[in-house]
Chain A
Amino acid sequence: MKVLLFLGCTVQTEQYAYELSVRSVLPKLGVELIDMPESNCCGYPVKSISPMAWAYMAGRLMAIAEREGLPLLTLCNGCHLSLTELKWALTEQPDLLDKLNELLEPEGLKLEGKTEVIHVLELLYERLGPEAIREHLARELRGLRLAAHYGCHLLRPSTLGRPDDPENPRKLDELIEALGASPVDYPGKLDCCGSGLAPFHGREAMKMVGWKLLEAKKAGVDALVVMCPFCMKMLDGKQTVASRLVGQDVGLPVVYYTQLLGLAMGMSPGELGLELNLSPVERLLAKMGVKM
């Protein structure tokens, strides 16, 4: 299948490991990635202060995807929620489509609001499926205990239709299981990474990172597996400061699911950007007998 790859701000400007692993893994699973001819921020960061600025930016992305005639693949939970919510807003507010087209028309764009918006989790679970993924594995990740972190915006609010159950999500767990590893439930599974709080109350956001990681560590897992660049930025990137703030060592390997999948498909850590993770991923690699 062919999809239009929308990176979004965070992946494109700093979370390069996600992009590297997506570009390495998905084509090998038969997904043709088409780079967007042009794009912009999904609008989510300004949504609360200016709903129209958000709607224009999200609508513009959808109009580009409509012109290309392809489904829009998002890597970020925030982008996925933003675009999904716009589709919902278009059905709730009948005059919004006209307002947006007034803005888009001078740019030669036209919006219908019908673009399919797919998150990587949906692509892997619904479109490909755990069974099909298993056929591409070079090795089984037997013996690994892994904690799934879905991220708030992938699950809530369920009224908009999110990729998995808001209180008992299973799809990422099943995808982990498909690699031969054991998905482990832990008390903080649905807890937030704190990234939405970080611009306003940095210290408290870092404490949220710390507590979340401690919950996973208490469950005795080898790593935490994420699917969103914001979650990664917090849970992988802020472990040193989080340890200091909660007064305990919260160090735990954190990886993108696409990195884990790539390793199971026999790819090298380099191809998957693993040297860009800031958490102690070498512990996980050592367990798998893989050299950095």
Chain B
Amino acid sequence: MGETGVKMAEVKASYCVQCGKCSGSCPAAKFLEMRPRKVVLMYHLGMVDELIKSGWMWMCADCLACEERCPYEVGPHSLIMELRAYCARKGLKLPAYYRQVASNITKTGFVQEPVSIRTRARRRVDRSSLGLPEPKGPSRLEDFAEKVRKLLEVSMS
């Protein structure tokens, strides 16, 4: 975590033999510019700024196929996640998704509040009409929210 994460990622990137098994396994590569093999290479060459500009860390579907299949345990996925953490630590602009998730978690304890949905017959239902019990969030929500807010603070500036 933190700086240790960076060092670990550097060491692991140096094991890469550019075999391309990761890119070949990557579902995002079918539809986007995403190439985990290139991410590892650029990281190894110290091209972090270029990587951040490419936006590749947000093109990952988090499927872990590259992590699983890399024959040299480089772990392209961990490296990509480390790039996300790096953006957060440096206060770079994060996708709007994170702001929304962080705000909901600190408000309710969860990423969203229960919504009403439609059945196949287009009838509106919700937890109570389906007979499901009220979900219980953190007992002392304020304490919980305060801690999460502080821990996220660095990343959400």
Closest 4 pairs (CB-CB, A-B) = A196-B62, A199-B97, A192-B63, A156-B64
In contact, B155 and A49 (Cβ under 8 angstroms): yes
- In the assembled complex, the Cα of A196 lies from the Cα of B97 at a distance in Å of 12
Q: Could you tell me the distance in whole angstroms from the C-beta of A278 to the nearest C-beta in chain B?
A: 7
- In the assembled complex, the Cα of A47 lies from the Cα of B114 at a distance in Å of 22
Q: Is B84 an interface residue (CB 8 A)?
A: yes
* Residues A25-40 near B (CB distance < 8 A): 35-40
Give the residue of A16, A47, A56, A292 whose beta carbon is less than 8 angstroms from that of B148.
Answer: A56
* Residues A160-210 near B (CB distance < 8 A): 166-167, 190-192, 194-197, 199-201, 204-205, 207-208
Q: Is B36 an interface residue (CB 8 A)?
A: no
A/B pair count, beta carbons within 8 Å: 175
Q: Which residues of B contact A288 (CB under 8 A)?
A: none
Q: Which residues of B contact A51 (CB under 8 A)?
A: 1-2, 5, 85
In contact, A50 and B155 (Cβ under 8 angstroms): yes
Give the residue of A23, A41, A191 whose beta carbon is less than 8 angstroms from that of B105.
Answer: A41
* Nearest B residue (CB) for A188: B27
Q: Could you tell me the distance in whole angstroms from the C-beta of B20 to the nearest C-beta in chain A?
A: 18
Q: Which residues of B contact A14 (CB under 8 A)?
A: 112, 114-115, 117
Residue-wise interface mask of B (1-21) relative to A, using a CB-CB cutoff of 8 A (1 in contact, 0 not): 110010000000000000000
In contact, B31 and A16 (Cβ under 8 angstroms): no
Q: Which residues of A contact B139 (CB under 8 A)?
A: 37-38, 107
Give the residue of A35, A45, A152 whose beta carbon is less than 8 angstroms from that of B65.
Answer: A152
Query: Given that A9-B111, A106-B143 are contacting pairs, would A197 and B137 also be in contact in the complex, using a CB cutoff of 8 Å?
Result: no
In contact, A201 and B105 (Cβ under 8 angstroms): no
* Nearest A residue (CB) for B119: A275
* Residues B134-157 near A (CB distance < 8 A): 135-140, 143-144, 147-148, 151-152, 154-156
Query: Given that A46-B105, A194-B27, A197-B60 are contacting pairs, would A41 and B111 also be in contact in the complex, using a CB cutoff of 8 Å?
Result: yes
Query: Given that A14-B115, A40-B144, A103-B147 are contacting pairs, would A46 and B120 also be in contact in the complex, using a CB cutoff of 8 Å?
Result: no
Query: Given that A40-B109, A156-B68, A204-B28 are contacting pairs, would A16 and B125 also be in contact in the complex, using a CB cutoff of 8 Å?
Result: yes
Residues of A within 8 A of B (CB): 7, 9-10, 12-14, 16, 19-20, 23, 35-41, 45-53, 56-57, 60, 93, 103, 106-107, 152-153, 155-158, 166-167, 190-192, 194-197, 199-201, 204-205, 207-208, 211, 273, 275-278, 281-282, 292
Q: Which residues of B contact A211 (CB under 8 A)?
A: 30
Q: Which residues of B contact A41 (CB under 8 A)?
A: 105, 109-111
In contact, A12 and B64 (Cβ under 8 angstroms): no
- In the assembled complex, the Cα of A153 lies from the Cα of B110 at a distance in Å of 20
Q: How many residues of B contact A (CB 8 A)?
A: 62
Q: Is B98 an interface residue (CB 8 A)?
A: yes
- In the assembled complex, the Cα of A166 lies from the Cα of B137 at a distance in Å of 34
Give the residue of B59, B65, B94, B148 whose beta carbon is less than 8 angstroms from that of A197.
Answer: B59
Q: Is B88 an interface residue (CB 8 A)?
A: yes
Give the residue of B67, B98, B102, B143 whose beta carbon is less than 8 angstroms from that of A157.
Answer: B67
In contact, B32 and A39 (Cβ under 8 angstroms): no
- In the assembled complex, the Cα of A13 lies from the Cα of B107 at a distance in Å of 14
In contact, A207 and B120 (Cβ under 8 angstroms): no
Give the residue of A9, A157, A201, A276 whose beta carbon is less than 8 angstroms from that of B112.
Answer: A9
- In the assembled complex, the Cα of A60 lies from the Cα of B32 at a distance in Å of 37
Q: Could you tell me the distance in whole angstroms from the C-beta of A246 to the nearest C-beta in chain B?
A: 10
